[in-house]
Structure 1
Amino acid sequence: MATYVLIHGAWHGGWCWREVANSLRAQGHTVFTPTLTGNGQSRHLGNERITLETHARDVLGVIETEELSDVILVGHSYGGMVITAAADRAASKIRHLVYLDAFVPEHGECLADCIRHNLPPELAAIFIGHFFQAKDNGGLVPPIPGALFGQTPATTEWMERQCNPQALATFQLPVLLDGAADALPRSYIVADGWQPSPFQQQAAAISGKPGWTLHRLPGGHCLMMDLPAELSALLAQLA
């Protein structure tokens, strides 16, 4: 049996993994679904001083305090930034990194950079422009409407109900890496059910690279909410 740590994307919380976590636990696996600071049940703590570093430390805190090892660490969307930063510092505790329709940053890149590098300029400008709303919202970026991500109506309604604003600094702080996690096995799961997606290009960039496997599922961006059974089965295969 495996140990999974599932990291949500921007504006979400550990709540989004509910069905996937239940399925994996029913199979006998150990599953942690931490909520990053300022999101989900800790949204009341949201403030402009929260950064990507804060969220990386959230993940490291789970690994350290739960005394975990041989972890399958999964990051969705923005969560790819978080698991990249965390794995670089805790590589000896990680068995496998899984990027779920997620950004895979290089050393020195922030999430805004990843958007610029993976979308046509006119579309990247729209996404980056959304971040500017933080100046009128206490340094917090409102969630992007779920309807843009090709979700089912039920998933979209769930997202609109639960997502909360997130600190602009989490999208602006670059990932600083020393390469400690470079040798870890990695998988990329791309959602094929929505466009325009920056993750199609991200998947193409890693396709065929040594140490990577590529998988596709037909749902919208939030596969853990759109296709929990199919995603759970795929994650279980990695164990």
Structure 2
Amino acid sequence: MEGSGGGGGGGKHFVLVHGLCHGAWCWYKLVPMLRAAGHRVTALDLAASGAHPARLDEVPSFEDYSRPLLDAVAGAGEGERLVLVGHSLAGLNVALAMERFPTKVAAAVFLTAGMPRAGTHLGLTTEEFNRRITPEFFMDSKTMVLNTGQGPRAAVVLGPKLLAAKLYDRCSDEDLALASMLVRPGSQFVEYPMMKDDTLLTEANYGSVKKVFVVVKADACMPEEFQRWMVDLSPGTEAEEIAGADHMAMCSGPRELCDVLLRIAGKHG
């Protein structure tokens, strides 16, 4: 689904960005719904994710990991303003794209996603999330060490029990099976210099783009309390809610999510 377009000429252009270890494939239910409503949709694979050809050890930085998104936003047509939708860890990729190309983004949607505050470092929300969880949180997931040109780097492989209990707990058996076949090793990039730079996200750029946080109330991975902490962190952020969906709301509540996104696009597009 890399770079997939389509939809009516008068609609908005949604760019959908997957979270940790996932790929464009996780949006497969939402893409046709948005297109049926007359919108253009690009669901992309970040570097070393989904069907992207690179291996994670070949991705030297968070910037390189984000490159497919940055290139897609940079390549948007003159006068075309995008609705970026970042899920989970992809809130940080979206934040970077907002900082680089604020005039190209009509609105940024953080779907139970990391949403840093302007004037703080990009890794702030990941650090806070990791501070709040217990060592048992990752269950049967495995950590691995990548040998990269920049030295050893940590990566994670999401375990089947974690997928079933905390990410896909309200999804169909088919969605869980699909995920268990397609997830790839991933990284939170917490040790990368870009994550620690307090000057990266500016009020003038990142802070100028409309932010909407979609709170997924039944999320067993990112608790509602933590989601609302991020909303409060950035005054002026709008909040929408989805009830009854799990962390993978695009799979467990695609119709509800589609309705929320159409409402956001209608208001801010």
TM-score computed with the length of structure 1 as normaliser: 0.85
Q: Could you report, residue by residue, the CA deviation over 1:195-236 in whole angstroms, capped at 9, with x for unpaired residues?
A: 352553132342495432111212100101111111111101
Contact 2:47 2:68 in 1 (8 A): yes
Q: Could you report, residue by residue, the CA deviation over 1:5-54 in whole angstroms, capped at 9, with x for unpaired residues?
A: 11111111111111111111111101111110101112x41132423211
Amino acid at match of 2:73: I
CA spacing shift, 1:22–1:96, aligned 2, 3 Å: same
Partner Cα separation in structure 2 for residue 84 and residue 209 of structure 1 = 12
Indicate whether 1:143 and 2:169 are aligned.
no
Contact 1:184 1:211 in 2 (8 A): no
Q: Which residue number in structure 2 is paired with residue 30 of structure 1?
A: 40
Q: Which residue number in structure 2 is paired with residue 228 of structure 1?
A: 254
Indicate whether 1:197 and 2:210 are aligned.
no
Q: Could you report, residue by residue, the CA deviation over 1:48-106 in whole angstroms, capped at 9, with x for unpaired residues?
A: 24232113322120122342631111100011010001110000101001000101124
Determine which structure has the larger helix proportion and give its number.
1
Contact 2:85 2:108 in 1 (8 A): yes
Task: Provide structure 2 residue ranges, at least 5 long, that are not aligned to the other structure.
Answer: 1-10
Partner Cα separation in structure 2 for residue 7 and residue 196 of structure 1 = 18
Q: Which residue number in structure 2 is paired with residue 83 of structure 1?
A: 94
Amino acid at match of 1:191: V
Partner Cα separation in structure 1 for residue 232 and residue 125 of structure 2 = 17
Task: Provide structure 1 residue ranges, at least 5 long, that are not aligned to the other structure.
Answer: none
Amino acid at match of 1:164: R
Of the structure 1 ranges 48-57 and 80-89, higher mean CA displacement relative to structure 2 is found in 48-57
Q: Could you report, residue by residue, the CA deviation over 1:116-160 in whole angstroms, capped at 9, with x for unpaired residues?
A: 424664x25445898981227984321253122233243322211
Matches within 5 A, 1:1-239: 1-42=11-52, 44-50=53-59, 51-67=61-77, 69-106=80-117, 107-110=120-123, 113-118=124-129, 121=132, 123-126=133-136, 133-135=143-145, 139=153, 140-144=155-159, 145-147=162-164, 148-149=166-167, 150-154=169-173, 155-166=175-186, 168=187, 170-173=189-192, 174=195, 176-179=200-203, 180-195=205-220, 197-198=222-223, 200-207=225-232, 210-217=235-242, 218-239=244-265
Percent identical residues: 22
Contact 1:224 1:231 in 2 (8 A): yes
RMSD (Å), alpha carbons: 2.7
Partner Cα separation in structure 2 for residue 177 and residue 128 of structure 1 = 29
Contact 2:13 2:39 in 1 (8 A): yes
Amino acid at match of 2:201: L
Q: RCO (CA 8 Å, sep 6+): is it higher in 1 or 2?
A: 1
Partner Cα separation in structure 2 for residue 94 and residue 186 of structure 1 = 10
| DSSP 3-state at the match of 1:39 | coil
CA spacing shift, 1:126–1:105, aligned 2, 3 Å: farther
TM-score computed with the length of structure 2 as normaliser: 0.77
Amino acid at match of 1:233: D
Amino acid at match of 1:117: E
